[in-house]
Amino acid sequence: MIDVEDLIALVRNYNPRTNEDRIRRAYDYGRRMHDGQKRRSGEDYFTHPVAVAAILTEQRLDDATIITALLHDTIEDTKSTYSEIAAQFGEEIAELVDGVTKLTNLQLSSTETKQSENFRKLFMAMSKDMRVILVKLADRLHNMRTIKSLPPEKQARKARETMDIFAPLAGRMGMQWMREELEDLAFKVLNPEARSSIIRRFILLQKETGDVIHKITADIRLELEKEGIEADVFGRAKKPYSIWRKMQEKQLAFSRLSDIYGFRVICRTESDCYRILGAIHRRWRAVPGRFKDYISQPKSNGYRSIHTTVSGRDGKRVEVQIRTRQMHEVAEAGVAAHWSYRDGERAQNPFAVDPARWITTLTERFDNGDDHDEFLENVKLEMYSDQVFCFTPKGDVVQLPKGATPLDFAYAIHTRIGNSTVGAKVDGIRVPLWTRLKNGQSVEIITATGQRPQVTWIDIVVTGRAKSAIRRSLREEDRERFIKLGRELSRVAFEHHGRKVSDKALRTAAKTLGLADEHEVLARLGSAELTAREVVEAIYPELAASPTTEEVDARRPVVGLTADQSFRRANCCQPVPGERIVGITYRGQGVVVHAIDCEALAEFEEQPGRWVDLQWHSGRHAAAYNVSLNLTIANDAGVLGRICTLIGEQKANISDLTFVDRKPDFYRLIVEVDLRDAEHLHMVLTALEAENDVAQVARYRDLGRKP
């Protein structure tokens, strides 16, 4: 583990004015909070926050970000609190640590609808302070570097989440080096055979051709010397995952791949960039269609560079990137360049993009999304897209993803123009609406009053904005017809499972699915954007549940107790598996397990020696955990019986039932049910909420009950 003085030295290298005492105090506080905790590898847990901080020093980030890295798991995994961190290190640090904690708690690899809502929360956290996501990316990078200590199934889940979310996000933020490393580390887990095969072929290729990188680098340097241009030249082989992806996209064998080497030329001035481009094109033949000028048309994250591919030595294709030193700093750090320090001062890089403006451009297109699915589609298209720049007839630039069509162009200008499009001209020539646009083309959109979007347009456009606008227009046009059809489909689906559909049940489904109301559920159902099964399972998820084969020993369901410690659940909060828990020791009574948010824990804040760090065993628990539910139901014949039957249908046993209040029109009662875990509790609550005769249902917690 890097000790505190070495970490401070890393910061001092780029920021001599760093507040060493503050970093030292954060280091000591973090080490004390994590004392006794271990990683899966057996190392002290605190090695992880220190490694995350060290990764962030490579990007020359400010003291606040480094301190946040050291403390980023304290609120999540220790007895530390927001107020304690604020008192010791200030509100800025506390806000950043809390932001990282909230990101950590997002289950980003869950179902699509839930994932889209988490993406929305993720971007909200980013918009508040981008440094939160910088710490989270560094946290993920270190976890991926040390992933071998995790069980295989967890490695696969983390790797897939990294490949789908964190790697593209790093790339979208301009941190290409981090994207490539995250992708390659995930690739190593998800497809180790393919990665090993590519590495073996690389070794064989080097034996056959010698050190190609050294030779081509020398060739480029020689051409620059002839022109009298001072520049640094670097070459490298592309990462295994980058090569594998290219093989998949182009459906080529490794032997037929050409541009597997990349070269970077870093010079002093912008004019030198274009002189270098000329020298390279005079010496080697440029490959048509492989030239991009991101200096005259920068990416939204501040990236500037010239890209060209040429047929180099022995006819091998090589990609060359040309940029100035300042452009290179932004290319390496991306949006993080905004916080970079040099010699104790915030680096004034003219190419560093303002994070607030960047996040606004990223999220402004998502604000009009009608639902979570459209938001997620927009996010993914934005994060994975390559870019094409086209011009309006007036010369304004419109930025679009690769593969965009004139329809995408029209919707990028305004939804009204997109909806009324009847044709398009590209460079003055009439073209079909499905034509793929290329860099530098001029596009003119032809509109007509009364024109409406066609269903086939959804397959023509590629941008999330266009797809969202087209679907919204089609839904509005056919909404009444879809609602009527959706109502009939829902009736049949519910009756198939022996249940009756009602507006209240559909409102519960809408809440679970993240939709506005029952009418929206019916419209989606009628337009085939939702299936009847999805609606039913939103209320009764047990219909889709697949049993976990691994049963947890009911005698020892909690991890963190010593062999001689007994335990029992606290009556005040009744924690169940799946909820975060903590133990409080009682002399002669063992350990009492509380939910982490139990208000009763406040009385033990001054007794840290009695706290025990606990968690539930993973696996399938027996339905042996009683939970109290506060129910208000209609006072009518047969209602109580139906409620009891409904609870039984969720595989939950009623162990006790107490009437609290009896009125002419309603009963209020406390029902004790035996459950497996938090998911089982959610299933029961959702099923009860959907019942017409249930006016209110909530979990009942009573601080007056003894632990």
Roughly what angle, to the nearest 10 degrees, separates helices 63-71 and 20-33?
10
Contacts of 26 (CB under 8 A, 6+ apart): 67, 70, 71, 89, 93
Nearest CA-CA partner of 318 in 370, 266, 264, 398: 264
Tokens representing residue 438 in the block: 């290329």
Contacts of 609 (CB under 8 A, 6+ apart): none
**CATH 1.10.490.10 is the classification of domain 194-346:** no
> What pLDDT does residue 396 have?
76
Measured torsion, CA atoms of residues 76, 77, 82, 85, in degrees rounded to the nearest 10: -130
> What pLDDT does residue 25 have?
94
Q: Mean of the pLDDT values across residues 509-522?
A: 88
3-class state of residue 442 by DSSP? strand
CA distance linking residue 428 with residue 426, whole number of Å: 5
The one catalytic residue among 20, 77, 370, 679:
77
Nearest CA-CA partner of 237 in 252, 254, 219: 254
Q: Mean of the pLDDT values across residues 419-435?
A: 92
Q: Are the C-beta atoms of 575 and 565 separated by less than 8 Å?
A: no
Contacts of 503 (CB under 8 A, 6+ apart): 518
Helices (H) and strands (E) in the chain, counts: 28, 23
Give the CATH superfamily of 4-190. Answer: Hypothetical protein af1432 (1.10.3210.10)
> What pLDDT does residue 383 have?
52
CA distance linking residue 506 with residue 520, whole number of Å: 9
> What pLDDT does residue 707 have?
65
Read off the pLDDT band of 409 (50, 70, 90): very high
Instruction: Kindly give the pairing relationship between strand 567-569 and strand 590-595.
Output: parallel
Top-confidence residue, 339 or 191: 191
Q: Boundaries of CATH 1.10.3210.10 in the chain? A: 4-190
Read off the pLDDT band of 461 (50, 70, 90): very high
Q: Are the C-beta atoms of 46 and 27 separated by less than 8 Å?
A: no
522: left (phi over 0), alpha (psi -120 to 50) or beta: alpha
Mean of per-residue pLDDT scores for the chain: 82
- Exposure string (b/e) for 18-51, b if CB count within 10 Å is 16 or more? bebebbebbbebbbebbeeeeeeeeebbbbbbbb
Contacts of 319 (CB under 8 A, 6+ apart): 259, 261, 262, 263, 290, 307, 308, 309
Strands (E) across 549-689 are located at: 558-559, 567-569, 581-586, 590-595, 611-613, 615-616, 625-634, 653-662, 666-675
Give the ranges where 352-463 is alpha helix by DSSP (H). Answer: 355-363, 372-384, 406-413, 415-419, 457-460
3-class state of residue 516 by DSSP? coil
Residue 700 DSSP class: -
Is 77 labeled as catalytic in the residue annotation? yes
3-class state of residue 663 by DSSP? coil
Q: 């954007």: which residue's tokens?
A: 529
Q: Are the C-beta atoms of 138 and 293 separated by less than 8 Å?
A: no
CA distance linking residue 58 with residue 175, whole number of Å: 12
Q: Mean of the pLDDT values across residues 258-262?
A: 69
CA distance linking residue 16 with residue 444, whole number of Å: 55
- Exposure string (b/e) for 218-244, b if CB count within 10 Å is 16 or more? ebbeebbeeeebebebebeebbbbbbb
> What pLDDT does residue 491 have?
84
Contacts of 610 (CB under 8 A, 6+ apart): 584, 585, 604
pLDDT, one tens digit per residue, over 122-171 is 666 566 677 888 899 999 999 999 999 888 888 998 998 888 778 877 87
Of the candidate CATH numbers 3.40.30.10, 2.60.40.150, 3.30.70.260, 3.40.50.300, the domain formed by 625-699 belongs to 3.30.70.260
CA distance linking residue 120 with residue 514, whole number of Å: 12
Per-range mean pLDDT, top range of 214-218, 340-344, 467-471, 626-630:
626-630
CA distance linking residue 545 with residue 262, whole number of Å: 48
Q: Are the C-beta atoms of 262 and 310 separated by less than 8 Å?
A: no
Poorest-pLDDT segment among 69-83, 103-117, 143-157, 296-310: 103-117
Q: Mean of the pLDDT values across residues 214-234?
A: 91
What Rg value do the Cα atoms of the chain yield, rounded? 30
> What pLDDT does residue 482 have?
81
Poorest-pLDDT segment among 78-87, 95-104, 359-368, 689-698: 359-368
Q: State residue 264 phi and psi, 5-degree precision.
A: -130, 130
3-class state of residue 630 by DSSP? strand
Q: In what order do the strands lie in the sheet with 625-634?
A: 653-662, 666-675, 625-634, 694-699
Poorest-pLDDT segment among 75-84, 132-141, 277-286, 470-479: 470-479
The one catalytic residue among 43, 44, 58, 76:
76
Poorest-pLDDT segment among 20-24, 332-336, 525-529, 639-643: 332-336
Top-confidence residue, 702 or 124: 702
Q: Is the pLDDT of residue 459 over 70?
A: yes
- Exposure string (b/e) for 135-170, b if CB count within 10 Å is 16 or more? bbbbbbbbbbebbeebeeeebeebbebbbbbbbbbb
Poorest-pLDDT segment among 120-134, 300-314, 445-459, 590-604: 120-134
Give the CA diameter of the chain.
99
Q: Boundaries of CATH 3.30.460.10 in the chain? A: 194-346
Q: Mean of the pLDDT values across residues 402-428?
A: 92
Contacts of 159 (CB under 8 A, 6+ apart): 144, 147, 185, 186, 187, 189, 190
Nearest CA-CA partner of 535 in 491, 498, 599: 491
Please give the share of the chain, as a percent, with pLDDT higher than 90.
Answer: 30
Residue type, 180: E
Q: Boundaries of CATH 3.30.70.260 in the chain? A: 625-699
Handedness of CA 154, 159, 160, 166 (dihedral sign): positive
Give the ranges where 210-239 is alpha helix by DSSP (H). Answer: 212-227
Q: State residue 204 phi and psi, 5-degree precision.
A: -65, -40
3-class state of residue 399 by DSSP? strand
Q: Is the pLDDT of residue 394 over 70?
A: yes
Measured torsion, CA atoms of residues 513, 514, 520, 523, in degrees rounded to the nearest 10: -40
Roughly what angle, to the nearest 10 degrees, separates helices 112-128 and 131-145?
120
> What pLDDT does residue 387 have?
67
Q: Are the C-beta atoms of 353 and 302 separated by less than 8 Å?
A: yes
Q: 């073209």: which residue's tokens?
A: 431
3-class state of residue 269 by DSSP? coil
CA distance linking residue 303 with residue 301, whole number of Å: 6
pLDDT, one tens digit per residue, over 566-622 is 899 999 999 999 888 999 998 877 899 999 888 888 888 888 888 888 889 888 888
Q: State residue 445 phi and psi, 5-degree precision.
A: -100, 130
Roughly what angle, to the nearest 10 degrees, separates helices 82-89 and 63-71?
140
> What pLDDT does residue 351 have?
55
Is 488 labeled as catalytic in the residue annotation? no
